[in-house]
Amino acid sequence: MTQISFDASALKKFVHENELGEMQAMVNAADSELRNGTGAGADFRDWLHLPTEYDHEEFDRIKQAAKQIQSDSEVLVVIGIGGSYLGTRMAIDFLHNSFYYSQEPADRKFPLVLFAGNSLSSSYLHDLVKLIGDRDFSVNVVSKSGTTTEPAIAFRIFRELLVKKYGEAGANKRIYATTDAKRGALKTEADAAGWETFVIPDGVGGRYSVLSAVGLLPIAVSGADIDQLMAGAADAEKSYTNPDLTQNEAYQYAAYRNILYRKGFTTELLENYEPNMTMFAEWWKQLAGESEGKDQKGIYPSSANFTTD
């Protein structure tokens, strides 16, 4: 199996066989609006082709920066919130050993990627600073504007730690900013200090940004192969272009959800039995909630992680 498969057999007692076919016209219309940019949110459709239409020069710089961090740091602190955090954390958890965060450096072989700026917890930041201790570290701050409260506070703390440990010039070489291409407080500060910068594409919303520099730099630092990651995503892009419901399992899933929602089923539960998919569920909840939860409408996304006795 090269991709996720969708099994709707358990839905037979809730959805009649003909109902899915009756959704085809609606799916065709939605697909046309999505592909042609005639529907709501048309300015944020670049995620559709992100696996194939991306900046290859920047992609090479991401891999070079990852190698630099791997050579001079034992820890990378990624500072971001929401879409600047969840997708990346999901991917690193999923792609690595179940005990990645507890492994010895010799077993992990690559820097430990840790996260900050996703809450206002002072105890979390205190504990994170203690965990890093005297180890060499770098920082990847991820923010479109640079003014979001939680990441801004965390970045201030870790920048001061870098300056104290390496001096101003040394700290500037260990800060990597993923931000807007042209404007914003973080972009202005990065240009003034000479930090290496990567771009959050204008047409990609935060919750869809994991295959941009937002996710690719930390994922590469962790030791995962981002060339293979993008190749797999490109295969998926190709696989899910046909709007035919008999061929496109992603659209089948969407159609069944729509049918069930109109029948009054307004809560969806994502269950999994793998502990390292916990953050996958958190990311999925953000994707669903922020995409659909508008104007008191939409399916409420929930999750559960199970173990067996």
Residue 127: C-alpha distances to residues 18, 70, 166, 221 (Å)? 56, 23, 21, 22
Residue 295 has what pLDDT?
Answer: 84
Residue 297 has what pLDDT?
Answer: 87
Residue 307 has what pLDDT?
Answer: 63
Residue 77: C-alpha distances to residues 80, 256, 285, 302 (Å)? 10, 40, 24, 28
DSSP sequence for 12-73? TTTS-HHHHHHTHHHHHHHHHHHHHT-STTGGG-GGGGTTTSS-HHHHHHHHHHHHHHHHH-
Copy the structure tokens of residue 125. 């930041």
Q: How far apart are CA 268 and CA 261, in angstroms?
A: 10
Rounded average pLDDT per 10-residue block, the chain, 309 residues: 83 93 96 93 91 96 98 98 94 94 94 97 97 98 94 97 98 98 96 97 92 97 97 93 95 96 95 91 92 87 78
β-bridge mates for residue 155, sequence order:
none
The model carries a pTM of: 0.94
Q: How far apart are CA 212 and CA 147, in angstroms?
A: 21
Q: What is the dihedral of CA 82, 124, 282, 70, to 10 degrees?
A: 80
**DSSP H helical segments within the chain, as ranges?**
17-22, 24-36, 56-72, 86-95, 105-108, 122-132, 149-172, 185-193, 213-221, 226-239, 249-262, 278-292
What does the chain come to in residues? 309
Give me the residue label for tokens 């899910």: 240
**Burial, 84: exposed, middle or buried (Cβ in 10 Å; 0-12, 13-18, 19+)?**
buried
Q: How far apart are CA 138 and CA 83, in angstroms?
A: 21
